[in-house]
Chains A and B, each alone.
Chain A
Amino acid sequence: MAFYVLQMEIAVVVLAVLGLLAGAFWPKHTSLIRRGLAEGALVVLVASLFLVFPQHHALFGGAYVLDRFAIVFKQVLLGAAALVLLLADAHEPLRKQGGTEFAALVLLATAGMMLLTSANDFIFLFVALELVTITFYVLNSFLRGESRALEAGLKYLVLGALSAGFMAYGLAYVFGAADSLNFGDIHHALHDDKTAQGIYLFGFALVLLGLGFKLAMVPMQIWAPDVYQGAPTPAAAFLASGSKIAGFVVLLRLVFADVFPPAWEAQPVVLMALAALTLLYGALGGLAQTDVKRLLGYSSIANAGFLLLGIAAGGDFGHAAVIYYLVQYLFAVIAVFAVLTVVANAHDTADRHTLMGLHRRSPLLALALLLAMLSLAGVPPLGGALGKFFVLVATVMRARIDPAFYALAGVAIVGAVIALFYYLRVLRGAWADPAPDAAARITVPWTVRVVLYICMAGMLFLGIWPQPLLALATRCLH
């Protein structure tokens, strides 16, 4: 067995274990260790850029594949983890709690996500997914003194368990219909034997439902606002970036492996309906929110809708658009959470007052928030604008064959206009409202500064020069 194929995941797990051990042996130096873990993740990322990977490799009887698509997203997820670890080190409530467990758990979740990008078998997928979900149960309720964090953890636990149940139940049907859980075998079984397709469809729908929990897709979206609001800000940041990206990578993998039920490939009505509902739910639900973290929960749902739209539209360009969208979304969403990490109040929530007068208290944070909100809203010259544009292009391309997609493009545009309202309202608090008297200038820790600079550069670069990433995304498909 060629274990060097797994070297990135192994490195991350080793890093996590080292972090736990070091925290136990040198409890006085936890801050140093935490930062060391973030830097370690970055080192693995940088090293992976120079490693020569085998072109196409499979392990464990084809359950694990390593291709360009997987490698690129392993690197993206590692990058996200490194940024989140830097944030976690600057997060006051987490610092007070001390210890290195939070950082180690983030790395373990990252390992799970990295495994997910390579999953080519439903059992492997399920196990990797559980590794991510179970670590998040802990991450979300890590601040055990806060009732909101406990509530968030519990909600995530209950719904996570439910979705895992759905998925396991669905897998039983999938196995019954296709006699295998390997994507390659399923693909053949489906096209050779047409009798079992009905059962397969049922099983696959349940699997999609289980996966929908990770994506924050209607009807499994209900937890997102509550958990984003209650979870420690860095955990919410990782939930919104890493966890969501991993979920969509799995969905893309299912598309690439061609294991979607044949009926859906011809006319993806279910995906289309889910995309439209998710989009509108996220856009409309956010209108009445006053807490920024909660609002981001709805924003994350709306963005999931856009991504689903890209997947439903399909085609090489649609998939490349989804890949582009995921990467630019990462920068925008981490930037917002980085700002909130610093400004969130003692209870680690961010109601309207926390952002008031931010332009006075810290111009850097206000600028980062401005760029991130505009990118999420889809305003040029930031990555988000092109992300939405590419998805729309893919949708209209598909609509020329299948006119129902014109309606979806319309829904997407309406959703984007509605969402602009709440993004602008956040900016109003930060830029227009005067600072409350008691609010002093904010000093931004250097770790957060680094994160903000990286995210702002990323958003601007992707918005102005999208060609490299788009080319890479296209290469990933083949």
Chain B
Amino acid sequence: MTDLTNLGVKAIRDGVAAGDFTAREVAEGFNANVAAAADLNAFIVTTPEHALAAADAVDAKRAKGEELGVMAGVPIGMKDLFATRGVQTSAASAILEGFKPEYESTVSQKLWDAGAGMLGKLNLDQFAMGSSNETSHFGNVANPWKANDGGNAVLAPGGSSGGSSAAVAARLAPAATGTDTGGSIRQPAAFTGISGIKPTYGRCSRWGIVAFASSLDQAGPMARSVEDCAVMLGAMAGFDPKDSTSLDAPVPDWAGALNADLRGKKVGIPKEYRMDGTDAEILASWDDGIAWLKDAGAEVVDVSLPHTKYALPAYYIVAPAEASSNLARYDGVRYGLRDLPEGAGLQDMYAATRAAGFGPEVKRRIMLGTYVLSAGFYDAYYTQAMKVRTLIQRDFNEAFETCDVILAPTTPTAAFPLGDKLDDPLAMYLNDVFSVPASLAGLPAMSVPSRLNAKGLPLGLQLVGKAMDEQMVLNAGLAIEQRSGFDAQPEKWW
């Protein structure tokens, strides 16, 4: 029998439905891979019993001839930012260690309702703040990929969905949930040779997702193929009255409508993304992508996004501002850590609790946000950033008058060694230079693998679509996937 853990979402679902294997066999296979991969530190908590129970429920339904859901029999990893009833939900922070929600997030509930099971809660950057998964209270995640340069450096899996990317790349899970605030699905997907899509803002409910920057946060799937992403996104998306920004729009059958024939479509190439000093291999990968989309029948046109260089500075005002407000709730009163020094009053308890519970990057962003929102600075920083955000969205709207989808690199470099950028927050932030603009504009965006660089590390290509047009993004992603021939896997060392 083939190794079931090499199968993706759709192959597992269809195989279970056809009776080629049972959901329990699949869950047992992935549970075993998870248990054997402690070196990657991809999971904060493992829940093999949850995966088995969900699998048994699917097998029982099949035996009775009942209809199976679109994720039936597929065990997945759940980023530890989604509230899961009775299972620790920590956001990778000490301040939430031990927190076991009494409720289930909308997105995770929809996945369980569709027949998926949970292998465990995946590691991430603390409160999703980071690009290398080095800010987690529960330790770094290791990228399963290693460079072929003879060095043995452990590389960053990207962030903030670093546990998700590592787990999917290493075959610990066929797919995982991610969340993307400024690139946290796309950048880790690119660093590990997998696919991931952030849908239009509002497609997936934020209810029950630990909030970082509410006007940017959006959940999405990470998997090893475009089709698997489309299937899983269909199970995650949908209107939710419990999230006031949830889009009240029907969820299209993205997987059913996948079509890599791009004749009559126009692909925009934004000239501002061709920045000075960009890695030559990244540019070569971009050129490959252009050629592949042309081969799929698309016409390639130049477009301009003139405010691109201002996206990152605007993001580093908007996101910390929202974080400083959202994270005010961690006060040692209602849940999570409490640090009450001897004889301390309420205010001292707040300050001590937050000092002990938050990591340095989280403190940095809360304080930065507090500063840009403070009296006297609000207009110069926050209002100006929100005006620039309007301009960035306008740039995209104008570009989409002449094209249907935009193609760009996902990241400026391949995966870097852990520790490389840890002492320089600004250098770390620059990782997201290509992914942040689409986040600020609320647009659907996807990363698909393109090739290995000279060091044997995967590179990703990014597709950005019009609001609500995930289908075009997925179709262009599929056209690239069919032509890149990317089937490389990391060599097992863990």
Co-complex (A, B): no
Give chain A's interface residues, CB within 8 Å of chain B. none
